[in-house]
Structure 1
Amino acid sequence: MNTLQRALALGFGAALIQALMLIAFAWPAANTAPRDLPLAVTGPQAALVAEKLNQVSPGGFEITSPADEAAARQAIADREVYGAIVTGGGAPRVLVASGASPIVAQQLSAMAQQLSGVPAAAVEDVVAADPDDPRGGAFGAMVLPLVMSGIAGGVLLSLLVPTVPGRLIGLVTFGVVGGLLSMAIIQGWMSIVPGPYLALAAVAGLVSFAVSGTVVGLATAVGQAGIGIGALTMLLIGNPFSAATSAPEMLPQPWGAIGQLLPPGAAASLLRSVAFFDGAGAVKPLVVLLVWAALAVALLGIGFVKSRGATPAPATAPESEPVPA
């Protein structure tokens, strides 16, 4: 391939990546809407309200019917539902949880006005977002730097550290220091995420290890092509479908569900659980992150075994030929 052909191929490849990034980031944002969004409806008019919701938004809500308002509040606190509609005693009241998703809370608040028929419907935020970040914009923006820094750390370790043990040490160091430092900035300085500092730092560190470890592990196991595979997976699939600024049920399916099986989506869900819900709903995203971290270590092990097997045997000195008399 001559210089002109290489230039054309690289330009075409860059344009293709650009198109994929536009699709990955813009398509989910342009198609945000409830899709089987868990919602509780309780009270004497619960059946009527549920029927109306299904008519207005077919397939938009997965409606459950708790016994009473207390049970509905508990379901919100346990992250089983995003909100609740309480009927009886006048116009329906709506319970929301902006800590779980400010966008969903806003939509449920707007829906409350439609249901009640009054300009100022009764809406209560039972699990509120941080007062310094009421709309959740800073929280959503926090996930992308964690992913991007993880990719960057993985690339640097893959290119600059030649040995597998050295790469593993670098990953652990990055996870520990990165988690402590990032939460010191987010919680201590910016004060946009509540919750226990060490637990949140551990989550951030696990995310950093999982993302960078995937890049390093693939690079170690399959070569430099693994860097691109790992980075593009996290950037083009994991980040836009993480639902960090909305909710998995607000994204086109099955991409919303797939996003929760990748480190960026699991990171957003786990951080919300730890910060706002005292750990409720944390098991699934925690398991996802631990699986990715274990996969990274396994890939490093595979690369280590391959490197040991490919080590050339020491060359033997050639036998000297006899000098003719």
Structure 2
Amino acid sequence: MRSSLPSRVLGVAVGAVLLQLIMITAFAWPSARTGPRDVPIVVTGPQASAVADRLEHERPGAFAVETRRDEAAAREALTDREAYGAIVTTPAGPRVLTASAASPMVAQQLGALAEKLTGPQGARGAAVQDVVAADSHDPRGTGFGALVLPLIMSGLAAAVLLTFAIRAVAWRAAGVVLFAALGGFGVAALAQGWLSLLPGSYLTLAGVLALSILAVAGTVAGLAAALGRAGIGAGGLLMLLLGNPLSAASSAPELLPRPWGEIGQFLPPGAAVTLIRSTSFFDGAGAARALTVLAAWAAAGLALLAVGALRRRTEERPVPERAPAMAG
């Protein structure tokens, strides 16, 4: 027994170091590799083609440029979440339209781009207008970005507590749903009240947050019910180490390394970020996929809880005693 103790200590220490390296990589790598990759923007006006060619020449692969017929169509692309910004060319010089509510980081990059654009007679710089602005109390989106991690961690914590505190899986599922509902209303009140991070309808935001919490907590609780303690570890890795860094809460999916930005949108944290932005700032534009993703994860979590309940019922079912053999 004593001889196995040093090897166990070594194994735990090495495992902890590997987990530490994985966590640092998961959280730091996306931020360290942030940069525009086919960020959708639109151009319009008499010099639209020239501007598009110049962007492709100077920043190859940075922007996916689409031409629109006029400024009204360019603005519509922003409000419909089809583009992050627009360059409107006019005889008086170019103007840049941004949507900081979609991504303050992309809006900042487009503002820097505006300073390099040239107008008539070689004048440098273009006026910038924020068409869909972020909340005035959180113009850089730092508060919104900081909201996501506690939302995930609290969902994980609730799933773990319910798993160990409530033996009956059916009541555990009821606890997950109740936690999601109360959490949605509570977080929405905090985000719109004291913190003043998100505008829009309170009831809509509460519903979106409740669905987001249910997708996280329900999935982890479901994995725990179906797989045991290993399910808790798998859920934590999925939501915290993979989902949170890829959520693009402080940037945009198009700023993350490929294909991780797109993958993140199919995980609950990334889908929650997109859905919250769409419903709070864009009247629901671009929300369909994120809503579908969250609903699918929530349904999968509840289905896993049902599987866990059936498994427990099977394990606890008494084995019928075999009748004694009759003496011949």
Instruction: Decide: shared fold, TM above 0.5.
Output: yes
Equivalent position amino acid for 2:52 in 1: A
1:118 Cα deviation (Å)?
5.2
1-side partners of 2:309 and 2:268: how far apart?
Answer: 24
2-side partners of 1:225 and 1:252: how far apart?
Answer: 29
Q: How does 1:28-47 map to 2 (within 5 A)?
A: 28-47=30-49
1:17 Cα deviation (Å)?
0.9
Q: How does 1:181-200 map to 2 (within 5 A)?
A: 181-200=186-205
Work out whether 1:63 is the aligned partner of 2:65.
yes
Q: 1:263 aligns with which of 250, 268, 271?
A: 268
2-side partners of 1:317 and 1:45: how far apart?
Answer: 89
Equivalent position amino acid for 1:153 in 2: A
Work out whether 1:92 is the aligned partner of 2:94.
yes
**TM superposition score normalised by structure 1:** 0.95
> What is the aligned partner in structure 2 of residue 6 from structure 1?
8
1:54 Cα deviation (Å)?
0.7
Structure 2 stretches lacking a partner, 5+ long: none
RMSD (Å), alpha carbons: 1.6
CA deviation vs aligned residue, 1:282-308 (integer Å, no higher than 9, x gap): 111000000000100111111111112
2-side partners of 1:29 and 1:238: how far apart?
Answer: 14
Q: 2:111 aligns with which of 109, 112, 124?
A: 109
**Runs of 4+ deviating beyond 3 Å:** 117-120, 314-319
2-side partners of 1:118 and 1:274: how far apart?
Answer: 39
1-side partners of 2:302 and 2:94: how far apart?
Answer: 52
Q: 2:243 aligns with which of 238, 241, 246?
A: 238
Q: How does 1:21-170 map to 2 (within 5 A)?
A: 21-116=23-118, 121-170=126-175
- Secondary structure of 2:42's aligned partner: strand
- Secondary structure of 2:96's aligned partner: strand
Work out whether 1:289 is the aligned partner of 2:294.
yes
Q: 1:304 aligns with which of 304, 309, 328?
A: 309
1:22 Cα deviation (Å)?
1.1
2-side partners of 1:236 and 1:248: how far apart?
Answer: 17
1:5 Cα deviation (Å)?
2.0
Equivalent position amino acid for 2:76 in 1: Q
CA deviation vs aligned residue, 1:31-89 (integer Å, no higher than 9, x gap): 11111111001111111100111111111111111110000000100000001000122
2-side partners of 1:40 and 1:316: how far apart?
Answer: 75
The 1:170–1:118 alpha-carbon spacing in structure 2 relative to 1, beyond 3 Å, is: farther
1-side partners of 2:187 and 2:6: how far apart?
Answer: 45
> What is the aligned partner in structure 2 of residue 323 from structure 1?
none
1-side partners of 2:189 and 2:104: how far apart?
Answer: 24
**TM superposition score normalised by structure 2:** 0.94
1:4 Cα deviation (Å)?
2.1
> What is the aligned partner in structure 1 of residue 224 from structure 2?
219
The count of aligned residue pairs is 319
